[in-house]
Structure 1
Amino acid sequence: MQNHDVRIAFGTDMGLLAPTALALDSALRTTSVSQVDILGVSLTLAAKNILHRIAGEAKTRLVIHELEESSFTGVTYKGGHVPNAALARLYLPHIVDERVLYIDGDTLIQRNLRSAFDISMGGSLIAGVRDFSRLKKECKFQRGRSWSTRSEVEAIVSPSPIESYINSGVLVIDCAAIRREPTLADDMLKFERANKYSLVDQDYINELFKGRILHLNPSWNSSWGRHHLQARWAKELGYSGEEVRRESARILHFHGAEKPWRKMPRERWKRSLRASLAYKVAFYQFKKRFPDLSFV
């Protein structure tokens, strides 16, 4: 594929605007992208202009698909960790014709993303990275430790193994293949089904696509820079090949309640010093270029 086939997407709202803008900027600084799709929930005109300005500097086409809170009927508030902007990714097969790389806004892109469009899906409909927390807990379980919510994860991914559960923050989505599956694209928008889960969109994605997920190298979704641990645990559980190959982080993902653009506890810094410092440096450089953006 040529560079004009590279298409990335973000979901955001006003609360996530600034970190998403930084993530977008870091993506366009590492990769030649033909189009960026922004799934924007209740964005102001000023917010849209900022995103267009970032894309304009990179000479990249940016399209904003406007969504409202009413676009997510059936979802009840479950705290700030699952904003409706996170559910916006479920609209992508109705918007994009072919393959798209979806990226959460609490990320920092460090390496070129183009190879996501060269990956052979092998019949899978989406590709993602095994979830850091579930992978860690399953390794401990196999060593004889307890895991209180293991049965809940097992119910989501069954009959696939528990460690098949992926983090939905970075996804390669084959939209054309999804639309060829009867009702699947429409099922993705049945938010009342997603609402029964504590992690809403992430759990629902794992349920919908179980057995049809390609597992990527953890460098594509490096949990606070800990992708080497992810690869080691995957190998411990019997996986091999490209997925466990040691490589530098491509996308740093700062998931969870703590965020590197806010004040963080010392323990968080100790567990993820290098990744957090990388974000802080990018954060301050970005704020100098875009002083009108507010990080909260």
Structure 2
Amino acid sequence: MSGADVTYVFDAGYLRPSLISAWSVLKHRPADITLRFLVTEVIPALASAVERLRAAFPQAHIHVQLIDFDRTLAVGGHVSATALARLNLPQLLEAPTLYLDGDTMVRRDLGPLFAPDPDQRPIAAVRDPGILKALHQKAGHGWLPSRKSARHLRDLEKISHLVDAADYINSGVVLFDLPRIRALGLDTRMGDLRAAVALRQQYQLRFNDQNWLNVVFRGQIRHLAPEWNTLWGNRLTGRSPFPQSERAAFVASRDDPAVVHFTGRLRPWEIRHPIFHPKRRPWLAAYKALQAEAEASLRMA
């Protein structure tokens, strides 16, 4: 199996979760891996943490790179402007890489994701279950759309000429075949950060980079199994409005996810008492155990 290449892109605000996530990656693949931290600002605490990470996993190749980034971009919402920096990956790196959001917890070896794609599609990612839920509700399954689902549907309707709603991916876990992206001439468009922001502003959308990736790579996305990007355990996929066939497809993601993605405003690394969040079981407790292990080893205050 070929080596894995994993990339995080963050600013100081996401230092702690990114280190915790990286720890989870290396626990399950301590060797034959290149792990990269691309940071959009100088983070004094990063250097010592990375040295301890290297000491804990001496067979891994761990790199830190400060990248140029226009932090004045008006992204809106609760997502940092730094999230847009991942769109510059074709200009920053050479080899295919798996981009991970810092709010992820990896539970198995990421190596299988790097198996060659016979169709040579430029990116691979998981369909967003929140979007799928909204589409099922629109189709008449279950109750009327929730407020969040209704917002998803409004946004998708506005850009229906630009994206395929049924193929819409979540951008928190994406395998970028960077050489293929460049060969297809999509690197320049992918890296047009101002166009990504303008899209959100023009249509008053919720997302920036996520919508942009779905626009740029429309019709060229390889879908990964749901367990590779499980939003808080995908617990809602086991009932209506998901039809029986879809519920079965999400079983592995609910029972034994490969990557748990803690999306939204609730930040698990800031929670002190998981017992007060019963709807977030069992993955919040698992994350807190991982956090304690990583922070003790990396001496994170």
TM-score, normalised relative to structure 2 = 0.84
1:63 aligns with 2:63: yes
Cα deviation, 1:11-50, whole Å, max 9, x if unaligned, reads 1111110110010011001013431121111132431331
Closer/same/farther in 2, CA of residues 265 and 121 from structure 1, 3 Å limit: farther
Please state how far the C-alpha of 1:141 moved relative to its aligned partner: 1.2
Q: Secondary structure at the match of 1:210?
A: coil
1:252 aligns with 2:255: no
CA–CA distance in structure 1, aligned partners of residues 124 and 238 of structure 2: 16
**What amino acid is aligned across from residue 41 of structure 1 in structure 2?**
T
Gaps of 5+ in 2: 201-205
The residue number in structure 1 matching 2:169 is: 166
Closer/same/farther in 2, CA of residues 74 and 219 from structure 1, 3 Å limit: same
How many percent of aligned residue pairs carry the same amino acid? Answer: 26
Cα deviation, 1:159-214, whole Å, max 9, x if unaligned, reads 654121111000011101000122x2112221111113231111111111111111
What are the equivalent positions in structure 2 for 1:101-120 lying under 5 Å apart?
101-118=98-115, 120=117
Q: Secondary structure at the match of 1:202?
A: helix
1:7 aligns with 2:5: yes
The residue number in structure 2 matching 1:195 is: 197
CA–CA distance in structure 2, aligned partners of residues 268 and 157 of structure 1: 40
The residue number in structure 1 matching 2:137 is: 140
CA–CA distance in structure 1, aligned partners of residues 27 and 35 of structure 2: 13
**What amino acid is aligned across from residue 65 of structure 1 in structure 2?**
Q
Q: Is the 8 A contact 1:139 1:237 kept in 2?
A: no
Q: Is the 8 A contact 1:6 1:35 kept in 2?
A: yes
Q: Is the 8 A contact 2:232 2:261 kept in 1?
A: yes
Please state how far the C-alpha of 1:266 moved relative to its aligned partner: 8.4
Please state how far the C-alpha of 1:92 moved relative to its aligned partner: 1.5
Gaps of 5+ in 1: none
**What amino acid is aligned across from residue 85 of structure 2 in structure 1?**
A
The residue number in structure 2 matching 1:284 is: 292
**What amino acid is aligned across from residue 14 of structure 1 in structure 2?**
A
Cα deviation, 1:201-257, whole Å, max 9, x if unaligned, reads 11111111111111111111110112x65488898497799x657362111110111
CA–CA distance in structure 2, aligned partners of residues 8 and 35 of structure 1: 6
CA–CA distance in structure 2, aligned partners of residues 258 and 238 of structure 1: 30
The residue number in structure 1 matching 2:203 is: none
Closer/same/farther in 2, CA of residues 150 and 178 from structure 1, 3 Å limit: same
Q: Is the 8 A contact 1:52 1:62 kept in 2?
A: no
Cα deviation, 1:72-96, whole Å, max 9, x if unaligned, reads 37721524x3213312211221233
Q: Secondary structure at the match of 1:225?
A: coil
Q: Is the 8 A contact 1:121 1:214 kept in 2?
A: no
**Farther off after superposition, 8-17 or 281-290:** 281-290
What are the equivalent positions in structure 2 for 1:1-296 lying under 5 Å apart?
1-2=1-2, 5-31=3-29, 32-59=31-58, 60-68=60-68, 71-72=69-70, 75-79=73-77, 81-118=78-115, 120=117, 122-143=119-140, 145-146=144-145, 147-156=150-159, 158=161, 161-182=164-185, 184-196=186-198, 197=200, 198-226=206-234, 229-230=236-237, 236=243, 246=252, 248-263=256-271, 269-291=277-299, 293-294=300-301
How many residues of Structure 1 are paired with residues of Structure 2 in the alignment?
A: 285
